[in-house]
Amino acid sequence: MRSSAGSSAVRDATRGTVALVVAPRHHHYFDFADYLRVEDDSDIKHEFADGQVWAMSGGSPEHARIIANVAMLLNMALGSRRCAVFSSELRIRVRSANRATYPDASVICDRVELDPEDPRGHTALNPTLLVEVLSPSTAAYDQGEKLDYCKQIPSLQEVMLVHHDARLVVVWRRTGGSWISFELTEVVELRSIDCKLPVADIYRDQLA
């Protein structure tokens, strides 16, 4: 979406609302450098989607709890392996699709490959695993368009989608030149990092 005054629309990816950000030099298209300037000047995070910039809002307490549970379980399961769990503060770029996103969690092994086009060094290129906790407003996007472009990341081996409305986790796994999905209700097996996560622990609510 564009405004007649040369502004570019910034969509709220979780609430469906739209805010306007004036594009640098009245451009009608954000390149990655423009997007980084928006991020540097903003108090909120944005996703970058092939020239568009989408504002991100906070999630529900349930959403936040599930993310924290997954991160804790991953850290415990990884043990001393040379892999690290990152929160949604780490930006992941998909260069082939001209996208940048903040997954709910990610795992990177061996070393973090930083994007040379990000002078602040806040963008990684080589996740092994991405985790998204689905919400009612973003489930279709996370399981559709976003999943499709994330699969283009060369290093990525698995994507873990945690449903919000049922104790169900879907794992997409790269197998040769294709991707296969698995619906899991008891134990989540993540072969790319040799970890198993009990589904009950993912959804555990100690305040219930």
Higher pLDDT, 44 or 18: 44
Position 58 scores a pLDDT of 76
CA 166 to chain centre: 20
pLDDT at 165 over 60: yes
User: pTM of the entire structure?
Assistant: 0.85
pLDDT digits (tens, 9 = 90+) for 178-197: 999 999 999 999 999 999 99
Category of 25 on φ-ψ map: left (φ > 0), alpha (ψ -120 to 50) or beta: left
Helices (H), the chain: 32-41, 61-78, 139-143, 145-150, 199-202
Complete DSSP assignment for 3-62: -TTSEEEEEETTT--EEEEEPGGG-SS--HHHHHHHHHH-SS-EEEETTEEEE-----HH
Residue 28 pLDDT level (bands cut at 50, 70, 90): low
Position 103 scores a pLDDT of 96
Taking alpha carbons only, the member of 145, 147, 186 closest to residue 168 is 186
For residues 12 and 35, what is the distance between their CA atoms, to the nearest angstrom? 15
Position 134 scores a pLDDT of 94
pLDDT digits (tens, 9 = 90+) for 78-137: 999 999 999 999 999 999 999 999 999 999 999 999 999 999 999 999 999 999 999 888
CATH fit for domain 61-202, picks 1.10.20.10, 3.40.50.920, 3.90.1570.10, 3.30.1390.10: 3.90.1570.10
Position 23 scores a pLDDT of 41
- Where are the chain's structural domains? 7-55, 61-202
pLDDT at 11 over 90: no
